[in-house]
Amino acid sequence: MDSPTIPFEGIARDFKGRLPFYRHDWLGETSIKILAPTTCIFFASALPVIAFGEQLSRDTDGSLSTVETLISTSICGIIFSIFGGQPLLILGVAEPTIIMYTYLYNISKKNDKVGKELFLAWAAWVCIWTSLFLFLLAIFNACNLISRFTRLAGELFGMLISVLFMQQAVEGLLDEFRAPHGREHKERGDDFLMIYVNGLLALVFSFGVLFTSLKSIKARSWQYGTGWFRSFIADYGVPFMIVVWTALSYAVPSRLSSDIPRRLDIPSPWDSASQSHWTVFKDMPKVPIVYILAASIPAVMIAGLYFFDHSVASQMAQQQEFNLKKPSAFHYDLFLLGFTTLICGLLGLPPCNGVLPQAPMHTKSLAVLRRQLIRKKMIAKAKECIQQDASNTELYQNLKDAFLETEPVPNVMSFLFSQEAAVSRELRGLKEAIMNHNGYVKKIDPAKQIDAHLPIRVSEQRWSNLLQSLLVGLAVGAIPIIKKIPTSVLWGYFAFMSLDSLPGNQFWERLPLLFVTPSRRYKVFEGNHASFVESVPFKYIMTFTVFQLVYFLFCFGVTWIPIVGILFPLPFIFLIPIREYLLPKLFPSEYLQELDAAEYEEVIAVPHMSMNARDKRSISINDCLAEYQEMVLSPMPSIPATEPEPIDVIDDGDRTLYDGEVFDAMTTRRGELKHRSMSFRRFRGNSFTRYE
């Protein structure tokens, strides 16, 4: 289908495309099992919002706090779960919003005509301008341009956010060695010792949270514990570690001051300080007209930032490899984002946008859930066929019918025929595996064949997003408990978010190559590596990486410039003409396409095998699931054809935990699905040749 060109065409097309599926979004995927991914994504959403709220409170001298970030995330999430075109998209108050609001506050504080008192009122005008620009972007089909933001821009932006996370963690830790805000000139004689002790404890708690959190997210690959235990730690380990280290903070000696360690200073939701922003619209007329017009300048930056960040998050949640069956709605969702930005501004709340990695994490968790449900239904159907001694053809047809029953079906007959044809193509591998078994169907192990050939499906519904948004809103009532978290625990969590977002960023993964000498480059091929390492000469890899590094340092430097720092999204917009017109003159097109590829392709190293030169095969997630099954699950006993006997198809409930482990291995930390391939073209016998 051609891209929309007429104003409102994209919005109308998105609305018409999603409308037939709206009823199925609510009624087609109702199951109590939806609570598991809901709880997982709730913690993944709430923890960053709490951390950003503390950062925002410090940067705005308490004008905004965790209360506002939680309420904003909840309101925007509820609106998008009910009215959004893509309900899998998770919204939240993100680091770019915190940065922009910090700049707005600093500008307000330095101008007497606005000041701290009218900061939220002026921010509301900025949100009004921002929503207007988002409306215009959606109306004039600006989402057609999102493909021009290539991996180059996405990885630079992701690296900038990672560094800003780490910067906040370091600044917070250094602050623990200083007197609390407001008490700089009120120290007692022994306060120096107390401050020093507080700083040392902060180091212990922050590094404790960082280390244990990084370990817990890899729990699915542990060799210890049951599958259920490993899965639980992988999904809920980070919030659990925050609880553990918060509990340990109460084990400090009682002789120390009750202020050690320092804890979050969050106003109660019922305090007057937390309720004043609800009437911020009353102060908006007090803002001078010059500043109302000037609010359009930061609004342009925020609108461009949201357009980029929100669209990328939506793309990541709807990657082609997830095999989503319902259409996207980029234009409509951008238009709706304008409304949520307007609502947040009038309520004195920081606005939200689509966030990474929560959006693709949500889709991935629902993919594992959907695989459980489909597999259970198909195996039950296989049991019936085995008991009835059905033919191979009947077995396949029954499995196909069971699979089709799980598909979303709008009331469009043309869609029904195209859907069945698409499913037939996707189940071709399963059909061939079943038809290759001549004779009794009892000789077939349906569980093994289903695991090996079951296509990826996602439970596309609105309940999980709605429920997690409601839980985020209810978390406001838990502020008295949240206030017990030490600030140093949050600094450790900021450092964790920084380091956790780096794997999968090819810019970050290329940086170590700058320090690899030519004589040791063959070592790169002995481990898993990006495909461009084999196809692009190292001199071009180095040049491209140095360019990214210089450009990143420039973007990071802009954030340090007072007032001008509010323009930090501008360099990312300039990357469009740089990528289209400058870089093609510096790099051969085939190499540039590899270095700035739209997909993350990883080559698996097998250093002890040899194959024909230039032999390369693609490995899908289903291939990995099948391979993992061969390694981990016990094979079913074979049945002699001469004495057919019924067998029980064992439905191992722990099987889905292996699926989750493979999904973890096949996705980057930002939620991008890897395209894996196996290449041996650099082997000579059982060793590598050096790549000069």
Q: Which residue has the higher pLDDT, 204 or 431?
A: 204
**Tokens representing residue 494 in the block:** 């900021």
What pLDDT, on the 0 to 100 scale, is given for residue 443? 58
Provide φ and ψ at 618, rounded to 5°.
-80, 145
What pLDDT band is residue 646 in, cutting at 50, 70 and 90?
very low
Question: In the chain, count of helices (H) and strands (E)?
Answer: 29, 8
The model's pLDDT over 156-171, given as tens digits with 9 standing for 90+, comes to: 988 988 898 899 899 9
Q: Which is it for strands 600-604 and 674-679: parallel, antiparallel or unpaired?
A: parallel
**Tokens representing residue 253 in the block:** 């000696």
Contacts of 122 (CB under 8 A, 6+ apart): 104, 108, 114, 287, 291, 295
Q: How much of the chain, in percent, has pLDDT values that exceed 70?
A: 76
**H or E element in which residue 617 lies:** strand 616-619
How far apart (Å, rounded) are the C-alpha atoms in residues 169 and 233? 24
What pLDDT band is residue 650 in, cutting at 50, 70 and 90?
very low
What pLDDT, on the 0 to 100 scale, is given for residue 633? 44
76 touches 336 (CB < 8 A):
no
Q: How much of the chain, in percent, has pLDDT values that exceed 90?
A: 34
What pLDDT, on the 0 to 100 scale, is given for residue 258? 73
How far apart (Å, rounded) are the C-alpha atoms in residues 251 and 516? 46
Through-space distance between the first and last CA atoms of the chain, rounded to whole angstroms = 45
Q: Which residue type occupies 294?
A: A
Is residue 73 over pLDDT 90? yes
Which of 44-53, 116-125, 146-155, 421-430 is predicted least confidently?
Answer: 421-430
CA torsion sign for 333, 457, 674, 36 is: positive
The model's pLDDT over 376-409, given as tens digits with 9 standing for 90+, comes to: 777 777 777 777 777 777 777 777 777 777 666 5
How far apart (Å, rounded) are the C-alpha atoms in residues 142 and 578? 19
What pLDDT, on the 0 to 100 scale, is given for residue 438? 57
What pLDDT, on the 0 to 100 scale, is given for residue 608? 41
Instruction: Compute the average pLDDT of residues 646-664.
Output: 49
Task: Say what the pTM is.
Answer: 0.80
